Structure 1
């Protein structure tokens, strides 16, 4: 079975959008798919209703009924780094709990899409000794990297890829998210692809996450790589 992480070069690069897109499109292939957000932060309150953006988007756009307890382990109110948000609530994130949950999900689903928080070096424990990268490495799952297309993305993307390579973590591909079609962005994408030679997808700037229902990644080399793994392993 093929399971993987969605990781970002930074915070707010669109990991949830891409996780939701891939969830839907793998579900359309007849696979039983669940997203999993180990740690989410930033409670949103609208009209006296409280919710968390990531897991709410999963449930809203999934083509299959999702099991809520499978989607998340830790949710903290403060929109901050997981270690600090946990500290504010007097809690400590147990990374072994996260890894055990991932193992259980792998036995239950055809594809588990684990969405990271922030960049790969975001600390999870209160002392800053254990990072998301450590958990990814211990999970022994490959990753899809989500990055921007704008100025600065070359440096951020190469640093992320180098860090993943240093841990021997397989990168299945890259998603360039938020493209507006400028010449600078086109050159950024070309430069990164020429250097790393990975499957990829370019996602245009979406005005609203609701547009995920109308956008497809199926024509991309990234989706072909992911679905080929699934077809091979099932």
Structure 2
């Protein structure tokens, strides 16, 4: 039975994909069969044949070295660099939760550990016209707990706290926090770490510095964050 973990961020461009790549790499290198899945990704480039490249999935695949087919990693790929709900409106391809879950279940049937990545922050709208779908709807449908990626710098206490409080209201488990752009010895960032742990009750399980190619947590400790996928 596969195990799943959802990677969310305090906002857009916070480093979710970068961290996801390091996580999947750590799992693969530990000998586990690791896979990646993202419901919807926006702001993608086109190949010569005009087909869209799921950029986040490609990055994770290249960083982690997994052999998962790119076309199985993300069912909804958009060109417009906007929220998925708006991109789908512009491009006429709305996200359907049943399609997302079909691909998710397929990934779970093939991989021991499936790392899911969200779009934007916790309040990202995934679809709004045909049916109202928000990121928490996808997380809960997948039965996954979350790992929160946050910038280590100024303002993170507020953004981490608000995200954690909203997750608690929605009944979504927060398994831990990862600080990105971390500078060891920086007094403010060290204090941010302590304050975020105090505020949320969740541990900062790793800190990622600029250019890191490894995650500073053991594979065994990382695996403990994953939930058994519900059949």
Moved more, 147-156 or 93-102: 93-102
Moved more, 12-21 or 120-129: 120-129
Residues 21 and 61 of structure 2 are in contact (CA less than 8 Å); yes or no, is this contact kept in structure 1?
Answer: no
Q: Distance between the aligned counterparts of 2:71 and 2:175, measured in 1?
A: 27
Asked if 1:217 corresponds to 2:216, the answer is yes
SS of residue matched to 1:124: strand
Match of 1:43 in 2: 44
SS of residue matched to 1:112: strand
For structure 1, the residue ranges without an aligned partner over 5 or more in a row are none
TM value normalised by structure 1: 0.86
User: Of 193, 199, 205, which residue of structure 2 is paired with 1:195?
Assistant: 199
Asked if 1:149 corresponds to 2:148, the answer is no
For structure 2, the residue ranges without an aligned partner over 5 or more in a row are none
CA spacing shift, 1:46–1:178, aligned 2, 3 Å? farther
Match of 2:105 in 1: 103
SS of residue matched to 1:51: coil
Q: CA deviation at 1:48?
A: 9.8
Q: Distance between the aligned counterparts of 2:215 and 2:222, measured in 1?
A: 14
User: Of 50, 72, 75, which residue of structure 2 is paired with 1:73?
Assistant: 75
User: Of 44, 56, 59, which residue of structure 1 is paired with 2:58?
Assistant: 56
Give the aligned CA root-mean-square deviation in angstroms: 2.4
Residues 172 and 226 of structure 1 are in contact (CA less than 8 Å); yes or no, is this contact kept in structure 2?
Answer: no
Q: CA deviation at 1:118?
A: 0.3
SS of residue matched to 1:151: coil
Match of 2:96 in 1: 94
Residues 37 and 74 of structure 2 are in contact (CA less than 8 Å); yes or no, is this contact kept in structure 1?
Answer: yes
| 1:68-97 CA distance string (max 9 Å, x none) | 232110100011100111111112110221
Match of 1:29 in 2: 30
Q: Distance between the aligned counterparts of 2:86 and 2:145, measured in 1?
A: 27
For these two proteins, the number of residue pairs brought into alignment is: 223
Residues 2 and 229 of structure 1 are in contact (CA less than 8 Å); yes or no, is this contact kept in structure 2?
Answer: no
Residues 145 and 175 of structure 1 are in contact (CA less than 8 Å); yes or no, is this contact kept in structure 2?
Answer: yes
Asked if 1:138 corresponds to 2:137, the answer is no
SS of residue matched to 1:145: strand
- Structure with greater proportional helix content: 1
Asked if 1:168 corresponds to 2:171, the answer is yes
